[in-house]
Amino acid sequence: MDSHPHDIRIVEKSQTTTASMHLIGEEPLSIRIQGAPYAVVMRTPGDEKAHVAGFCLGEGIVDAPGDITNIAFCDGEDTNVVTVTLTADRRRRIADHLDRRTYISQTSCGICGKSIVADLVQALTPLTDAEALDGNAARERLLGLGELQPLRRQTRAAHAAAIYDPGLNLLSIAEDVGRHNALDKAIGQIFLDNRLPRAGLLTLSSRISYELVQKAARARIPVILAVSRPTALAVELATALNITLASLGKGDSLNVYCHAGRLVWPG
């Protein structure tokens, strides 16, 4: 858990008191592929190797754990720089990709939503129909996400991503200051030990953006439930990729935006 105590002043009307508050950590993580710089992300320190593995899967750098020969910290104790070494076959396969011109990973100026969806659907394979989940039980997993967030309880500033199998058993949970990082970490944890094919449900503490749908598609996760609503582009992309999106609604309801058949509601 990465948090830092900090003395603050609490001002309420005319009264001032002092207190100690825990603030969430945030540091840069430099990701190097074959020794060359690829990306720098701001993240909460911890679980770096899983984070980088999940990031590489989401970016299309790897398709399977066997594409990686090594993930290591560059300078021993320096956990802010991680380098990934790929197999020779994988390096040949993604030679054009490593210049980052052939795959969309960030929102870019001058690119419209339709272009993003069209390009990503070409780069990603739509998911096949999956086993239906108990909608009520899936919603309970989403509502219980906060109970799996010790860093959020301490700092009130952490996002989380949790992944479950089709029986709604927890496979992985990760927290981070960034919602994208939390998802990369959660995916990476089970990607590295070959448990990712068991993933059936992803729960998120945030809204659903198109980048999170993209990462879920790369991980082949068929259902995403989130606390907040998705963007219109996220729904468009999920619809095209055959991924179910839902978020909390009023009362005990879920708002299901696409592919509602994957959630069933036992009497």
Residues 6+ apart with CB under 8 A from 133: 166, 168, 200, 201, 223, 262, 263, 264
Residue 126: both structure tokens together: 């739509």
Question: Which member of 56, 74, 109, 112 is catalytic?
Answer: 109
74 is an active site residue: no
Strand partners, 30: 40, 81
Residues 6+ apart with CB under 8 A from 93: none
Strand partners, 246: 225, 256
**How deeply is 2 buried, as exposed, middle or buried, from its count of CB atoms within 10 A (0-12, 13-18, 19+)?**
buried
The set of catalytic residues is: 109
